[in-house]
């Protein structure tokens, strides 16, 4: 595996360690502190009150540990026979469904792209081919069709050890990594837009499509919009105006807008920067708050823009949401500074009662925040050009979860409270560039590593996946964070009391506390009807089906051995008697992560993204017992051909009888 130049750990381990520590130095109230204040500290220190008590007091359905004799509860769109927990070389889906490979790393995307040859890779070829480690998946119908559309896919990062022949594990200074390999990595990052069509019951990629597009780190220029455009902190020698950025990195989750564009989220951008002597750097404080330099990649050996000693402002140009028009392959992507700079996980968009565009996003690090943006302008049906300006101006706020079960959105507006020049915020651009520090200043609630924040467009409920926080102390045990050393995560639900997502009157609740409910010390809480295969750990991405069920993808990283099962997709009930009941639907191969669940509008197709097969925790699989390499991977999924490495891929799932997924 790739090693971190900072820690000497494998890249996956370094990533987990960095997220585990958290860079938030504030002593603001954690959500545990708030609940302790609300319900009384004594009981929580002993763990006397569980999630069931908290949800009852908050008006939700009480959740308790499963009982063996509990009768099964059936939720709409959950009428499938669930699969079992487990780990092996391939993927698995519920009986009565087909899970087919739609597109793989290296498959042609842009017209003229060569076929994939793992022994003769080049940046030129990769820039025309499907990128690496597919994450977010969004579907844009063409002419309103649920069987013909554009698939918008993020490519989060690369795994050299199984990507390049002979790469093995990189040493601490990446000295064995060549500039050609770095250029391939940059070309494998970013995003892909592909045209897909369902014919004779099978989905295929339309070859040589006019819409086919690759967006990369090394070749795609992006304009900067919003308050930070042209700011001194964004100016570099290559871009003295501070308005044109080359590329995007670590594109994790994302979102689709009502006006037909695609938002990709830049998450762990800090890992791409190298440098030394940062303690004496003029940006030492802000770098530390963002974990810069992360040193996960050796790009700075060849390109000064990824070396903070050479180009100190370059990190300010990443960590944004980026809007892309998939219908126009010649359009220029736009970095949206009005929505703040942090480790964005997702961008769920809903139109408020009075027409404002509202965007929810999590900051994917332990003890960091959940954000909401409300546009200044309002949505105009059918006016795409006007709507594409909505995310250039508005108000970014950060969440505070209060002890009475209410949620208050704290606006990050320069001049208000501590967001003044005296406190290091001379203008609105600085507030947005340093959104994390602004969140610290206003007293936002420190969360357990917010992943994707998904909106149910029908009910208006919002679901925030909090994947884990193993640094939570024993004296912080409480209903909202029911475990010390929380390795398994939980899901928080919130919604506006009056249905107005642009308003400030919200209530919050707990949906589930994840992990194995049969192990008392884990402290998991599920609907009693949840089976031994229905519980999961580390919720990450999610999608809502037409019946309001949440389909949750998990990311346990190297720690899948704690649950004993590979990552996958679980359907999770959110209403009525099925609230909090999980059912396992899909499972990834060894070492892979589950990402990007996305339904077609008719609910008859589910797209899922399988990234880095063979990588995470391969040494802990008793049938393999060592780290994977290009020559010796734990699995050769999905091709299973000698000489072909494992390949991140999009899987398309359909019901064999042609019906709605889960029905």
DSSP per residue, 565-611: S--EEEEE--SGGGTT-EEEEEEPPTT-EEEEEEE-TTSSEEEEEEE
Residue 28 confidence (pLDDT): 56
Residue 431's contacts (CB-CB under 8 Å, 6 or more residues apart) are 412, 413, 414, 419, 425, 438
Angle of CA points 165, 13, 121, to nearest 5° = 20
Q: How many Cβ atoms sit within 10 Å of the Cβ of residue 232?
A: 11
The C-alpha atoms of residue 254 and residue 541 are separated, in whole angstroms, by 10
11 phi and psi angles, rounded to 5 deg: -60, -40
Residue ranges of alpha helices (H) inside 238-357 are 284-290
Token representation of residue 236 = 């570099």
Phi/psi region, residue 499 (left: phi>0; alpha: psi -120 to 50; beta: rest), is: left
Smallest CA-to-CA distance from 326 within 605, 542, 137 is with 137
User: How far is CA 536 from each of CA 311, 489, 547, 548, 663, rounded to the nearest angstrom?
Assistant: 43, 9, 21, 19, 21
- Cα–Cα dist 219/216, whole Å: 6
β-pair partners for 411: 397
Is residue 35 a contact partner of residue 460, using CB atoms and an 8 Å limit?
no
Predicted local confidence at residue 7, as pLDDT: 42
**Cβ within 8 Å of residue 476, ≥6 positions away:** 30, 32, 33, 36, 484
Residues 6+ apart with CB under 8 A from 205: 102, 103, 107, 194, 195, 196
Q: Which tokens belong to 250?
A: 């670590």
Buried b (16+ CB within 10 A) or exposed e, 396-423: bbbbbbbeebbbbbbbbbbeeeebeeee
Q: How far is CA 615 from CA 117, 160, 634, in A?
A: 21, 10, 8
Residues 535 and 521 sit within 8 Å (Cβ to Cβ): no
CB-CB contact of 493 with 510 (8 Å): yes
The answer to whether 628 and 614 are in contact (CB under 8 A) is yes
Question: Which pLDDT score is estimated for 308?
Answer: 96
Which pLDDT score, from 0 to 100, does residue 279 have?
Answer: 84
d(CA 393, CA 395): 7
For every residue of 307-332, which 3-state class applies, written as one string? ECCCCCCHHHHCCCEEEECCCCCCCC
The answer to whether 543 and 605 are in contact (CB under 8 A) is no
Residue 227 and residue 338 in contact, taking contact as beta carbons nearer than 8 Å: yes
Alpha carbons within 13 A on the beta-carbon side of 398: 25
User: What are 195's strand-pairing partners?
Assistant: 150
First to last CA, the chain: 41
- CB-CB neighbours of 637 under 10 Å: 27
**C-alpha distance from residue 261 to each of 51, 145, 209, 396, 608 (Å):** 39, 16, 18, 20, 20
DSSP string, 380-409: -TT-HHHHTTGGGSEEEEEEEE-TTSEEEE
Report DSSP state, residue 261.
Answer: -
| Short-list 336, 352, 333, CA closest to 344 | 336
Judge if the upstream peptide bond of residue 662 is cis by omega within 30 degrees of 0.
no
CB 649 within 8 A of CB 102: yes
Residues in Cβ contact with 649 at an 8 Å cutoff, skipping those fewer than 6 apart: 101, 102, 103, 104, 105, 134, 609, 610, 637, 638
Segments in the chain below pLDDT 50:
1-8, 31-33, 35-71
| Whole-number Å distance between alpha carbons of 126 and 271 | 22
H helical segments located in 7-133? 11-21, 31-39, 41-45, 51-57, 123-126
**pLDDT computed for residue 171 by the predictor:** 55
Nearest to 192 by CA among 129, 269, 286, 277: 129
- The answer for residues whose C-beta is within 8 angstroms of residue 187's C-beta and 6 or more apart is 123, 124, 126, 127, 131, 214, 216, 217, 218, 219
Contact criterion met (CB below 8 Å) for 636 and 179: no
The tally of CA atoms less than 13 A away on the side-chain side of residue 120 is 4
620's tokens: 């802990």
| Every domain of the chain and the residues it spans | 11-22+64-447+510-655
- The C-alpha R_g of the chain, in whole angstroms, comes to 23
């Amino acid at each position: 595996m790739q090693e971190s130049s900072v820690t000497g750990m494998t890249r996956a381990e370094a990533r987990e360690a960095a997220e585990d520590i958290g860079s938030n130095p504030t002593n603001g109230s954690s959500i545990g502190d708030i609940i302790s204040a609300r319900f009384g500290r004594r009981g929580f220190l002993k763990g006397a009150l569980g999630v069931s008590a908290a949800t009852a007091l908050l008006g939700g359905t009480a959740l308790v540990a499963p009982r063996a004799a509990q009768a099964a509860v059936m939720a709409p769109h959950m009428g499938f026979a669930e699969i079992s927990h487990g780990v092996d070389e391939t993927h698995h889906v519920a009986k009565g469904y087909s899970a087919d490979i739609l597109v793989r790393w290296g498959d042609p995307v842009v017209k003229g792209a060569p076929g994939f040859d793992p022994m003769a890779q080049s940046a030129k070829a990769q820039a025309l081919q499907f990128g690496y480690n597919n994450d977010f998946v969004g579907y844009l119908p063409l002419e309103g069709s649920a069987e013909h559309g554009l698939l918008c896919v993020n490519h989060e990062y690369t795994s050299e050890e199984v990507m390049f022949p002979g790469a093995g594990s990189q040493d601490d200074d990446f000295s064995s990594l060549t500039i050609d390999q770095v250029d391939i990595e940059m070309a494998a990052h970013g995003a892909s837009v592909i045209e897909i069509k369902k014919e004779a019951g099978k989905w295929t990629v339309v070859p040589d499509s006019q819409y086919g597009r690759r967006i990369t780190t090394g070749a795609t220029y992006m304009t900067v919009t919003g308050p930070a455009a042209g700011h001194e902190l964004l100016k570099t020698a290559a871009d003295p105006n501070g308005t044109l950025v080359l590329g995007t990195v670590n594109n994790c989750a994302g979102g689709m807008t009502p006006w037909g564009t695609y938002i990709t989220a830049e998450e762990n951008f800090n890992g791409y920067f190298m440098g030394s002597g940062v303690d004496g750097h003029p940006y030492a404080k802000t770098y530390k708050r963002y974990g810069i330099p992360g040193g996960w990649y050796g790009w700075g050996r060849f390109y000064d823009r990824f070396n903070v000693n050479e180009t100190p402002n370059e990190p300010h140009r990443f960590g944004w949401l980026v809007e892309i028009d998939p219908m126009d392959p010649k359009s220029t992507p736009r970095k949206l500074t009005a929505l703040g700079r942090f480790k964005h996980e997702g961008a769920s968009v809903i139109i408020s009662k009075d027409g404002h565009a509202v965007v929810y996003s999590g900051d994917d690090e332990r003890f960091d925040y959940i954000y909401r943006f409300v546009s200044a302008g309002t949505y105009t049906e059918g006016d795409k050009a006007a709507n594409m300006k909505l995310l250039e101006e508005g108000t970014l706020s950060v969440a505070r979860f209060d002890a009475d079960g209410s949620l208050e959105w704290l606006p990050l507006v320069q001049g208000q409270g501590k967001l003044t020049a005296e406190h290091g915020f001379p203008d609105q651009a600085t507030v947005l560039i340093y959104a994390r520090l602004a969140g610290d200043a206003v007293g936002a609630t420190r969360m357990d590593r917010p992943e994707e924040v998904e909106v149910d467009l029908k009910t208006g409920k919002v679901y925030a996946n909090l994947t884990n926080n193993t640094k939570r102390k024993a004296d912080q045990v409480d209903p909202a964070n029911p475990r010390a050393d929380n390795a398994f995560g939980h899901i928080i639900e919130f919604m506006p009391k009056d249905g107005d997502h642009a308003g400030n009157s919200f209530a919050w609740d707990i949906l589930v506390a994840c992990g194995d409910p049969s192990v008392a010390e884990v402290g998991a809480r599920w609907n009693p009807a949840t089976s031994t295969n229905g519980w999961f750990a580390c919720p990450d991405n999610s999608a809502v089906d037409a019946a309001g069920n949440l389909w949750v993808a998990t990311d346990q990283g190297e720690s899948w051995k704690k649950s004993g099962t590979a990552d996958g997709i679980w359907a999770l009930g959110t209403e009525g008697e099925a609230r909090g009941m999980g059912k396992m639907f899909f499972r990834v191969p060894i070492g892979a992560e589950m990402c990007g669940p996305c339904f077609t509008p008719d609910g008859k197709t589910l797209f899922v993204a399988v990234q880095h097969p063979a990588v995470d925790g391969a040494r802990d699989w008793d049938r393999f017992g060592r780290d994977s390499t290009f020559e010796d991977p734990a699995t050769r999924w999905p091709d299973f051909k000698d000489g072909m490495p494992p390949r991140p891929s999009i899987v398309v799932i359909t019901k064999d009888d042609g019906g709605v997924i889960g029905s």
